[in-house]
Amino acid sequence: MQCVSFIKTIMILFNLLIFLCGAALLGVGIWVSIDGASFLKIFGPLSSSAMQFVNVGYFLIAAGAVVFALGFLGCYGAQTESKCALMTFFFILLLIFIAEVAAAVVALVYTTMAEHFLTLLVVPAIKKDYGSQKDFTQVWNTTMTELKCCGFTNYTDFEDSPYVRENNAFPPFCCNNVTNTANETCTKEKADNQKVEGCFQQLLYDIRTNAVTVGGVAAGIGGLELAAMIVSMYLYCNLQ
């Protein structure tokens, strides 16, 4: 009985932390959605990550809502000894774990498929919003500066974009290779000659370079999720 009480206390404290993290993610997500410019001024230099390829505000709100709900279910289930809440917590965490494993398999084994899928999502957004949507443009400018890349696949991603239509030129990042030509007009011919790498390939290179760190973080998250599932199932089976 003392073992059950101890695990119950650990479950409550652990999920209280998850609950607070979810609330923080929700708050930051709402802040980014409302005032993305100030967020980018603070975190712009750290923007070389996969989250640059999605709407950061909506992503954080969605992730925060899921983490918030998980933390609440875990705390509520352990505190009130509700088997229904504990089982719901277990199944939601199990679904997240399966989705993460599936995503990892796709990323490792089906990189080309993942690239094709992301291309269908990201490239149309670039053609539609780059040069007209301020926060979106600023995120991509920071991305291309940090990773020294051009577009998602290459300079052709910017064709027919508001930026190209307005300036009759491509972003200067697409003509920046070894020498700095930021003050020169980046024409299609120059961009084609420079052949600056797309950001997706550059991001893959950075991930592979830091594969040990990325793998360690992923393994740590997976381990925590497995531990939480085991503890919740243990409580479920031992509660009266």
- Domain locations along the chain: 2-45+52-107+218-238, 112-204
At the top level of CATH, which class does the domain 112-204 belong to? mainly alpha
**8 Å CB contact between 152 and 198:** yes
pLDDT, residue 237, reads: 84
Give 95's contacts (C-beta < 8 A, 6+ positions apart). Answer: none
186 DSSP β-pair partners: 170
In whole angstroms, give the CA distance from residue 117 to residue 215. Answer: 23
In whole angstroms, give the CA distance from residue 226 to residue 151. Answer: 38
**8 Å CB contact between 142 and 44:** yes
Query: What sign does the CA torsion over 29, 71, 16, 10 have?
Result: negative
- From first to last of its 240 residues, the chain has per-residue pLDDT tens of 567 777 888 888 888 888 888 888 788 778 777 765 555 555 554 444 444 444 566 777 888 888 888 888 888 888 888 888 888 888 988 888 888 888 777 766 766 676 777 778 888 888 988 988 887 888 888 888 888 889 888 899 998 899 998 888 899 889 875 444 456 788 888 888 888 888 888 877 776 776 677 677 777 878 888 888 888 888 888 776
SS3 content of the chain, % helix, strand, coil (to 5): 80, 0, 20
User: What single-letter amino acid sits at 215?
Assistant: G
- 203: tokens are 């991001």
Would you tell me how many other CB atoms lie within 10 Å of the CB of residue 124? 11
In whole angstroms, give the CA distance from residue 77 to residue 11. Answer: 9
pLDDT, residue 158, reads: 92
